[in-house]
Chain A
Amino acid sequence: MDQLKYLKVKIREYIWLLVIAEDLLFLTLILTLSFTTHFHLIDKALIAFGAVLIFNLIFIIPLSNIITEPIEALWLAILHISPSSIENIKAPDLSKLHIGKELVTNLVGQVYQLNNIGRAERKNEISTYQTMGRDFLAKSLPLPIIILDNLENISYANNATLKYLNKSEDDLIGKNVYAVLDMSFPTEDTFDTWLKNAKQTTAISSNVWERVKLNVDEQHPTLYFDLAAYYNLENKDNNNTIIVLFDHTKLYSQDDQAISFIALAVHELRTPLTLLRGYIEAFSQELSGKLNPELQSFLDKMKAASDQLTSFTNNILNVARVDNDQMELNLGSEEWSTILTEAVQAIRIRAQVRGIEIKLNIAPNLPKVGVDRLSIQEVIYNLIDNAIKYSANSKQILINSMLNNEGLVETTVQDFGRGVPESIIANLFTKFYRDHHNRSQVGGTGLGLYLSKAIIDAHDGNIWVHSKEGEGSTFGFTVLPVDRLSEEKRLSSNDAIVHNAHGWIKNHSYYRR
């Protein structure tokens, strides 16, 4: 604006110069005339000069303003659209122009037009920049990212996803996420239950899962990853779920490899162990009743120790089978009281050598159950074995079996030992999980409960624990009456969550194997 004022001043100066020059010329003319003929007119001539001078003086200012009007209008128009102008400048009012109205209107119009083109280009630049950012970040980020629409179909998968899953875009885009990702979760907190819940109850939700297992295809080794998911109800185009996979295949499969190796080694233990048990049995048969109490107790302890070692090797081998999906169950119609009594009888000596008494109470008239005899006895061994290990100074274990309210055969194993701290109860059925406080005092691999859960799940039963630190624990499980079993199997094909002998919770019934 200062420059505009300066321009006006300059223009005024030039007009001044022009007027002065003109007036001087006029004055010279008058003076020249006066020295020649009509000198008597000099008075009138001077008056006329004075009038012209005054007229000029009056009109210099408006004239200079009128002359600068077009340029001022143009100037205002430019300032108006300039992004760097600080003042709040209004568009010029072209209707008030005294001169060059058409020209200025045209010029101002062009200025605005240029500005619009420039603005469009800038916008274009910004959106190119955003696309580039998105492509570079999402597409090239070495982290599999998948976006789902509200029908849980995949609407976007970045390059890392394609590479990680060894799939093409056509294999993924538009497909149901559960059809592409055959995920198994270590607990019942699964992706689909979370998403279902998030959709029903919240607008925004996020969650993280560890040790998720993914079966890609026959040729592809199993993948393990941590999974993070974010749900936002209001996201654009209904693309409201993002999932990100953090690969930990190497780390998480080590445990499984360790088990495979141990299983191989343990296998070699079986033959000598069988022989030892055979010879101990021969000793028991030949010498029972003939030994003094001390030697008899030694023989019992040998038997208890070899039985315990047998349970251990069976656990290891069974976990390897569970993990490799090779556990086979032959569910047959069995008398529960016989199975339970047999199992308790087999393990009783292990309790006796520690001075622990097992009290068994089986309700009469239980229906026949549908179980795999050997596997279900492993469960009983494991629960009683645990009760023995954690009994501390208490000397009693109670085993109860009855028909519960739901018509299932329920068996509980109760000890009065150290109990389980509440904080770790949730992890108790996880592989390798043991209470750190107890690790030094109690032996074991931490596989027994994991295996028991896998076996009970495969039977379509439930397993649980109630415990109070310092007062002991009660582990319970259910098995189905054999006539309920077939019914249950029929129904479970429509179930959302499928329990199988695998020890993992399958994500979706779609993939039942």
Chain B
Amino acid sequence: MNNKRKILLIEDEYFISELYHRALTRAGYEIKMISDGNEALKEALTNQYDIILLDLMIPNLNGSDILNILRDKSKIQDLKARIIVTTNLEQRPEIKKQIEDKADAYLIKAELTPGELVAFLENIK
């Protein structure tokens, strides 16, 4: 089907990528996986995704920088993707607040299994 939702999965942990990829594909999403920060930003700016799963700890350009650029109106108008930040780190409150303000959702990877992630995304339309 053509209206498969497209997900950009920005994640550099191999096992997590593998698990998320499998679970999301199974659930009927179309997945593009990228583990490098610069490449991920370039891909996100093509604005062809419905959901961006953004890990904060990735090489070259980190997740919060990518988030800031994607939310910068001078860099991109009308980003259609929902941005969901994923991390295993506990953030300091002020940083967490910044992220929560800009992202559409904030997930701690350790609190969700891939199956639960799928269920979560089903509720974000």
Binding site for B on A (CB under 8 A): 267, 270-271, 273-275, 277-279, 281-282, 285, 310, 313-314, 326, 374
Min C-beta distance of B29 to chain A, whole Å: 16
Q: Which residues of A contact B111 (CB under 8 A)?
A: 314, 374
- Name the 10 nearest CB pairs between A and B, nearest first: A270-B110, A278-B19, A274-B110, A275-B15, A281-B113, A278-B114, A277-B113, A281-B115, A271-B88, A278-B113
- The residue in chain B whose Cβ has the minimal distance to the Cβ of A267 is B90
C-alpha spacing A350/B93, complex, angstroms: 34
Contact of A282 (CB < 8 Å), options: B19, B93, B110, B112: B19
A282-B19, A282-B23, A285-B26 are known contacts. Are A274 and B109 too (CB-CB below 8 A)?
Answer: yes
B95 contacts chain A at the CB level, 8 A cutoff? no
A273-B110, A277-B113 are known contacts. Are A282 and B22 too (CB-CB below 8 A)?
Answer: yes
20 contacts between A and B (CB under 8 A): A270-B88, A270-B110, A271-B88, A271-B110, A274-B16, A274-B112, A274-B113, A275-B15, A277-B113, A278-B16, A278-B19, A278-B23, A278-B113, A278-B114, A279-B19, A281-B23, A281-B114, A281-B115, A282-B19, A374-B111
- The residue in chain B whose Cβ has the minimal distance to the Cβ of A280 is B113
Interchain CB contact under 8 A, A275 and B23: no
Which chain B residues in 106-120 approach chain A with CB under 8 Å? 109-115
Q: Which residues of A contact B93 (CB under 8 A)?
A: 326
- How many A-B residue pairs have C-beta atoms within 8 angstroms? Tell me: 40
Contact of B115 (CB < 8 Å), options: A270, A285, A314: A285
Min C-beta distance of B24 to chain A, whole Å: 12
Binding site for A on B (CB under 8 A): 13, 15-16, 19, 22-23, 26, 88, 90, 93, 109-115
C-alpha spacing A241/B52, complex, angstroms: 64
- Is chain A's interface secondary structure helix, strand, loop, or mixed overall? helix
C-alpha spacing A281/B93, complex, angstroms: 32
- Is chain B's interface secondary structure helix, strand, loop, or mixed overall? helix
Min C-beta distance of B1 to chain A, whole Å: 22
C-alpha spacing A314/B108, complex, angstroms: 12
C-alpha spacing A42/B22, complex, angstroms: 167
Interchain CB contact under 8 A, A275 and B16: yes
Given contacts A279-B19, A310-B110, 12 further A-B contacts (CB under 8 A): A271-B13, A271-B109, A273-B110, A274-B16, A275-B15, A275-B16, A275-B19, A277-B113, A278-B16, A278-B113, A282-B22, A313-B110
Q: Which residues of A contact B26 (CB under 8 A)?
A: 285
Min C-beta distance of A465 to chain B, whole Å: 28
Q: Which residues of A contact B115 (CB under 8 A)?
A: 281, 285
- The residue in chain B whose Cβ has the minimal distance to the Cβ of A306 is B113
C-alpha spacing A281/B18, complex, angstroms: 13
C-alpha spacing A273/B88, complex, angstroms: 12
Q: Which residues of B contact A278 (CB under 8 A)?
A: 15-16, 19, 23, 113-114
Contact of B114 (CB < 8 Å), options: A282, A314, A374: A282
- The residue in chain A whose Cβ has the minimal distance to the Cβ of B109 is A274
Q: Which of B22, B109, B110, B112 has the most CB of A within 10 A?
A: B110
Q: Which residues of B contact A374 (CB under 8 A)?
A: 111
C-alpha spacing A316/B15, complex, angstroms: 25
Q: Which residues of A contact B112 (CB under 8 A)?
A: 274
Min C-beta distance of B107 to chain A, whole Å: 11
Min C-beta distance of A282 to chain B, whole Å: 6
Q: Which residues of A contact B113 (CB under 8 A)?
A: 274, 277-278, 281
Q: Which of A274, A282, A326, A374 has the most CB of B within 10 A?
A: A274
C-alpha spacing A374/B13, complex, angstroms: 26
Min C-beta distance of A263 to chain B, whole Å: 10
Q: Which residues of A contact B22 (CB under 8 A)?
A: 282
Min C-beta distance of A123 to chain B, whole Å: 65
Q: Which residues of B contact A273 (CB under 8 A)?
A: 110
Q: Which residues of B contact A281 (CB under 8 A)?
A: 23, 113-115
- The residue in chain A whose Cβ has the minimal distance to the Cβ of B114 is A278
Q: Which residues of A contact B88 (CB under 8 A)?
A: 270-271, 274
C-alpha spacing A273/B111, complex, angstroms: 10
Min C-beta distance of B11 to chain A, whole Å: 12
Q: Which residues of B contact A267 (CB under 8 A)?
A: 90
- The residue in chain B whose Cβ has the minimal distance to the Cβ of A284 is B115
Q: Which residues of A contact B90 (CB under 8 A)?
A: 267
- The residue in chain B whose Cβ has the minimal distance to the Cβ of A313 is B110
C-alpha spacing A310/B82, complex, angstroms: 29
C-alpha spacing A271/B16, complex, angstroms: 9
C-alpha spacing A279/B109, complex, angstroms: 14
Q: Which residues of B contact A310 (CB under 8 A)?
A: 110
- The residue in chain A whose Cβ has the minimal distance to the Cβ of B115 is A281
Q: Which residues of A contact B13 (CB under 8 A)?
A: 271
C-alpha spacing A270/B86, complex, angstroms: 14
Q: Which residues of A contact B110 (CB under 8 A)?
A: 270-271, 273-274, 310, 313
Min C-beta distance of A279 to chain B, whole Å: 7
Min C-beta distance of A354 to chain B, whole Å: 22
C-alpha spacing A277/B13, complex, angstroms: 15
- The residue in chain A whose Cβ has the minimal distance to the Cβ of B22 is A282
Min C-beta distance of A306 to chain B, whole Å: 9
Min C-beta distance of B15 to chain A, whole Å: 5
- The residue in chain B whose Cβ has the minimal distance to the Cβ of A303 is B113
C-alpha spacing A314/B15, complex, angstroms: 22
C-alpha spacing A454/B113, complex, angstroms: 27
C-alpha spacing A285/B113, complex, angstroms: 12
Q: Which residues of B contact A274 (CB under 8 A)?
A: 16, 88, 109-110, 112-113
Min C-beta distance of A302 to chain B, whole Å: 13
C-alpha spacing A257/B110, complex, angstroms: 24
